[in-house]
Each structure stands twice: as structure tokens, then as C-alpha cells.
Amino acid sequence: MRPVEVAKQAAARWPEDTSFEAFLATLPLNEDNVYQFFFEANRDRIKVRSEAQALPKLKLIVQAIFDISAHRGFHAMSTRDLCDATGISMGGVYNYIGSKDQFSSMLIAFVGQTFTEINRVLLPPGEARHARLEAHVRAQVYMTELFRPWYFFVFMETKNAPAEQKGQVKDVERRLVDSLASMIEEGVAAGDYDCAAPKLVAATVLAVVDDWYLKPWYFRSAGTDVEAYADYVVDALNRLIGNR
């Protein structure tokens, strides 16, 4: 079953219960099965056809890439570094991710499509407009908490990537802003919000969301947990849109 279809069936407690715990209970993805979804999304590129055989090594490779990138930068990582970190041969690594550029492209597409689509369908269609908007923003914060290495890689490590991957990231960012802005625009049209620049507000709010996974050391030192930060972002959103 596709992850989006699972998400449609799972939306029960969320978003009535806005806690991180309720979000995790509803979300069909977790830190373990995300590799299964990643494999499914990239079957046409991963040369190992057996899912049971592929998943353990795929997880090992992706986690090693995240670790090496965090310490040395993805642009400085060689295939040999990846082989040394995983114990997998160069040919084996190639069978899973191809080139570095191909891996970047695979990961960007996965985060930009699967992660954001699941967030969208987790919102019940009958939910009140403003409750949907708040849940949408809160989910963005929670997703970056749960999948911090994935978001960090896509939006930071690709700064030194070729133009094609940079273009992919810009497209993802543009879709995120447009999605949030369209929800704000609906509220403006209904007379619920007093907001003259929905796209600017959307971009500002998402930049604040990004700070959660970009500066974890700061928020840990300040004693701020993910629910408190999500509350802060939602409060900032309400102020910016002039929620009536």
C-alpha cells in the first residue's frame, strides 16, 4: 500500500490532539520504515530488486551518508569513504544509490513529494479551515523533528550540488510556500484573516520552521521542546495573518 493511502486511513486522533505523540501515532512513517518507503519510491533506480535484501544495506548507506555529511560535508565525501563506513563494496554502493548526484536527486524528490504529500492528506477534509492551517504548520515542525537528518541534507548539503539538484530543492521550497500561502489566501477570501501578503507570510513562517532542525543545539540549551516550538510557530502565524 502506498504511504499516502496509509495516511488517509490513519488520520484519527490528529489533528484534534495536536501533541507530538498523537502526530507520531497517526503518521504512517517512522524512523525505521521510512527506508521501505524510500525504496518503493526509487525502485526504478535501485538495482537490488529484493526489498528484504535491499533494506538493511540501504538503511546502512543512507545513515552513513547523513553521518559523513554532518561531519565533513557531502561535497567532500567520496565513494571510498562510504565503502569504508559501511563495509559495502563500491559496486554494491553503486547498486543502491548510483552516483552522488543521483542519490541527492532521489532524496530531494522523496522529501519533497512523499513527506509533503503525507502531511497534506493527514488533514481531514471536513476540518475547519483555521484548524487545518494550524495543523499543517504544526506538522511541518514535527516532521523536521522526526526526520531531521533528511531535511538537513536536502536543504543544507545540496547547497554545493550541481544546478539540477539545486533546482529540485528550489521547486520543493516553492511548493511548500505555495501550499501554505494558498491556505492563507482562502482565509483572507473568507474574511477570516487580515493579511496583505500571504506568500511572504508563508515564506517567513517556513523559515522559522527550518530553524528547528538547523539549530537544535540552541533550542536544547534553552530547554525548548518540539511541542513548545510548534506552539510558538503557530502563534507567530496567527499574528502574521491577523487571525480574527
Checking if the pLDDT of 119 tops 80, the result is no
The confidence score (pLDDT) of residue 232 equals 97
As a whole number of angstroms, the distance between CA 48 and CA 89 comes to 14
Q: Please list, in sequence order, all residues whose beta carbon lies within 8 angstroms of the beta carbon of residue 133, skipping any fewer than 6 positions away.
A: 180, 183, 184, 187, 237
Quote the mean pLDDT of the chain.
90
User: Is pTM beyond 0.85 here?
Assistant: yes
Give the mean model confidence (pLDDT) for residues 78-100: 94
- pLDDT tens digits, one per residue of 159-180: 778 888 889 999 999 999 999 9
Which amino acid is present at 40? E
Checking if the pLDDT of 226 tops 80, the result is yes
Instruction: State how far the alpha carbon of 174 is from the alpha carbons of 100, 121, 202, 203, in Å.
Output: 24, 19, 10, 9
Checking if the pLDDT of 6 tops 50, the result is no
Select the CATH number that applies to the domain covering 99-241 from these four: 1.20.1440.130, 1.10.1270.20, 3.10.450.50, 1.10.357.10.
Answer: 1.10.357.10
Instruction: State how far the alpha carbon of 229 is from the alpha carbons of 39, 99, 107, 136, 211, in Å.
Output: 32, 37, 26, 14, 10
Q: Enumerate the domain spans of the chain.
A: 99-241
- The better pLDDT of the pair 225, 113 is held by 225
Question: Which single residue is written with the C-alpha cell 522523496?
Answer: 110
Q: Please list, in sequence order, all residues whose beta carbon lies within 8 angstroms of the beta carbon of residue 168, skipping any fewer than 6 positions away.
A: 105, 108, 109, 112, 158
Checking if the pLDDT of 44 tops 90, the result is yes
As a whole number of angstroms, the distance between CA 115 and CA 121 comes to 10
